Structure 1
Amino acid sequence: MSYKLIVDSGCDLTTEMEKEMNISTIPFKIAVDDKEFIDDENFNMDLFLDTMKNSSNPIKTSCPSPFDYESEVEKASEDEIFILTISSKLSGSYNSANIAKNQILEKDPKKKVHVFDSKTASAGETCIALKINEFIKNGLGFDEIVEKTEKEIDKLKTFFILENLDNLIKNGRIKKTAGLIANVLNIRPIMIGENGEISLFEMNRGFKKSLSKLADALGNVVDDIEDRTLVISHVNGLEKAEEFEKKVRSLYNFKDIKIIHTKGLASGYADNGGIVIAF
């Protein structure tokens, strides 16, 4: 059987990775004031970050519609389709994909389509996409890929550290007073994604200290690191990502480590200099 993987742009992938893994990415739309950005291959990252920085308003995002997903599935020549979305607790993308799936199966009940709720975003969604591709390459059947991928989603760990908390304040993710105090005191919290939602993992002063403490903590989070791929997504923070990778390699034996620049959606929340890691 031939497989097709469709993801939303909550998944950080390079153009080369999309081609290599036969992945189609359906973009979110992101509005900053009256300017709209489409999170596709033509996305202007520098203009987006600059526009966001100069606005006092939160960004507004529009997830892919059911029609977007249905159209992408109908274009696919492959026999069996997997769709992977950002956490259903963060966006309506998963709901849109399921509506599309039901419409497709009404037209063709023999079609095989499965929608995965990644329960994460950014580097975490990338980790799941890499796992699905690995299962496909290993020749697993459709139902086995579904079963194994759901297990991978349940055991995935996602963390992030932000250089700037302004966007979290503007978007109401943290209280304005608390965010301003954190900025003044140079507090850079380590956040963790759990069950599709975001919570505090640890508080530190300074980005470098938080990066170092996070690297030290990974060994206490899971006990099967050698079987996992670590994905490090960054927003114009390649030097930080490489520094983190260097320390992690000195401490652990991950199966693989990949460094990727975030797409527009993750950049809108992680902001300039932010780092998201998942494994």
Structure 2
Amino acid sequence: MSYKIIVDSCGELTEEMKASGHYETASLQIDVGGHHIVDDETFDQASFLKIVAETEECAKSSCPSPERYMEGYHCEEEHVYAVTLSAELSGSYNSAVLGKSLYEEEYGEKDIHVFNSRSASVGETLIALKIAECEEQGMTFEQVIDTVEAYICEQNTYFVLETLETLRKNGRLTGIKSVMASALNIKPVMGATPEGTIVQLGKARGVKKALAKMVEEVTVQVQNSEQKILAIAHCNCLERAKEVKKMLEEKASFRDVIILDTAGISSMYASDGGVIVVV
């Protein structure tokens, strides 16, 4: 069966994924400091971080339209999947589901499934890779859905950021007592709940200690690590990401490791120096 996987642009694609012809990005958009930025291959992280640093106002994002998803579904491939940001954090999931309804009204029935990643960034990347793996194994459409939904349930997301301001100002930290200890350089270790909301897992003084604490959290939670891909996304801090990889590999073995630079939406939320780990 031919298949296509649409990933909203909070999910980074590896060069191999881009070259395979199976993946397509549905771009979110960012408005900050009078600039309108489309999160596609034209996104310039250095320029974006400079604008953010020079702007008082908080960057705002908007998700792809239902029509954009509908267009993506209108293709030759028989099986079409969409992978979106956590429905708790973005309207992208609802947009993709509505796009499916619009497609069916216009063109009739088709095998389309929308996955709520309950994650973001490289969490979406891993889900997209899992879909492709299932398809390449010759699974039926229903088997792919069941296998990938089960995979999403056991996936864990962690992150340490230099600042939580963008998440806080955009209302993504509801229910979390804001960590206002910046004078003490307290850095929280954050993660995703099974539902896809953000939760604080711990905290430490300084980024280095927070990253070490995050590594501890990952190794306590991960099961059958040798069967899993470890994915690390970083916003403009490759050496920090490599250090996290090294710390994790000292404690567990993984099937593979992917390190990616954050695209636009992930850069907006992770902010300069942020590191995201999904396994």
Which TM class, normalised by the smaller chain length? Answer: over 0.9
Given that 1:13 and 1:263 are in contact with CA atoms closer than 8 Å, whether structure 2 keeps it comes out as no
Runs of 4 or more consecutive aligned structure 1 residues displaced over 3 Å after TM superposition: 107-110, 168-175
Shift of 1:81: 0.5
Residues 241 and 275 in structure 2, CA contact (< 8 A), matched pair in contact too: yes
CA distance in 2, matches of 1:174, 1:83: 25
2:7 pairs with 1:2: no
1:83 maps to what in 2? 82
TM-score by length of 1: 0.93
Q: Within 1, Cα distance between the matches of 2:12 and 2:114?
A: 18
Structure 2: which amino acid aligns with 1:11?
G
Indicate the residue corresponding to 1:153 in structure 2. Answer: 152
User: Residue by residue, what CA displacement relative to the aligned partner does 1:220-261 show, whole Å, maximum 9, x if unpaired?
Assistant: 213221221110000011001101111111110111111001
2:66 is matched by which residue type in structure 1? P
**In structure 2, what is the equivalent of residue 190 of structure 1?**
189
Partner of 2:92: 93
RMSD, aligned CA = 1.8
Matched letter for residue 26 of structure 2: I
Evaluate the alpha carbon distance shift between residue 139 and residue 97 of structure 1 in structure 2; reply closer, same or farther with a 3 A threshold. Answer: same
Amino acid at match of 1:205: R
Q: How far off its partner does 1:202 sit?
A: 0.5
Give the aligned residue type for 2:182: N
The one-letter amino acid paired with 1:239 is E
CA–CA distance in structure 1, aligned partners of residues 167 and 66 of structure 2: 28
- Output the CA distance in 2 between the equivalents of 1:35 and 1:102: 33
Residue aligned with 2:226, SS: helix
Report if the CA contact (8 A) 1:21-1:133 is conserved: no
Q: Where in structure 2 are the equivalents of 1:32-71 lying within 5 Å? A: 32-71=32-71
Which segment drifts farther, 36-45 or 208-217? Answer: 208-217
Q: 2:136 matched to which residue of 1?
A: 137
For 1:202 and 1:178, the matched residues in 2 are separated by: 13
Gaps of 5+ in 2: none
* Stretch of structure 1 that moved more, 121-130 or 8-17: 8-17
Q: Which residue of 1 aligns with 2:204?
A: 204
| Preserved contact between residue 94 and residue 117 of structure 1 (Cα < 8 Å) | yes
Specify the code of the residue in structure 2 equivalent to 1:129: A
Q: Which residue of 2 aligns with 1:213?
A: 213
Question: Structure 1 CA distance, aligned partners of 2:152 and 2:178?
Answer: 32
Cα 1:160–1:36 shift into 2, 3 Å: same
The structural deviation recorded for 1:19 is 2.3
The CA deviation string for residues 145-186 of structure 1, in whole angstroms up to 9 with x for no partner, is: 0011111111110000002334345435569x955x422111
Partner of 2:163: 164
Aligned to 2:225: 225
Which digits, 9 at most, give the CA deviation of each residue in 1:11-32, with x for residues without a partner? 1123442222610001101000
What is the TM-score when the length of structure 2 is the normalising length?
0.93
Tell me the distance in 1 between the aligned counterparts of 2:230 and 2:141: 25
> How many Å separate the matches in 2 of 1:158 and 1:217?
10
Equivalent in the alignment of 2:242: 242
Partners of 2:167 and 2:269 within 8 A in 1: yes
* Identity across matched positions, percent: 38
State the SS of the aligned residue for 1:116. Answer: strand
- Contact kept in structure 1, 2:172 and 2:198, CA below 8 Å: no
| CA distance, structure 1, for counterparts of residue 66 and residue 217 of structure 2 | 40
Count of paired positions: 276
Distance (whole Å) between structure 2 residues aligned to residue 61 and residue 142 of structure 1: 32
Encode CA deviations 1:26-79: one digit per residue, 9 max, x unaligned.
1101000321100000011111111111112111111000111111222x2211
Contact in 2 for aligned 1:26/1:68 (Cα 8 Å): yes
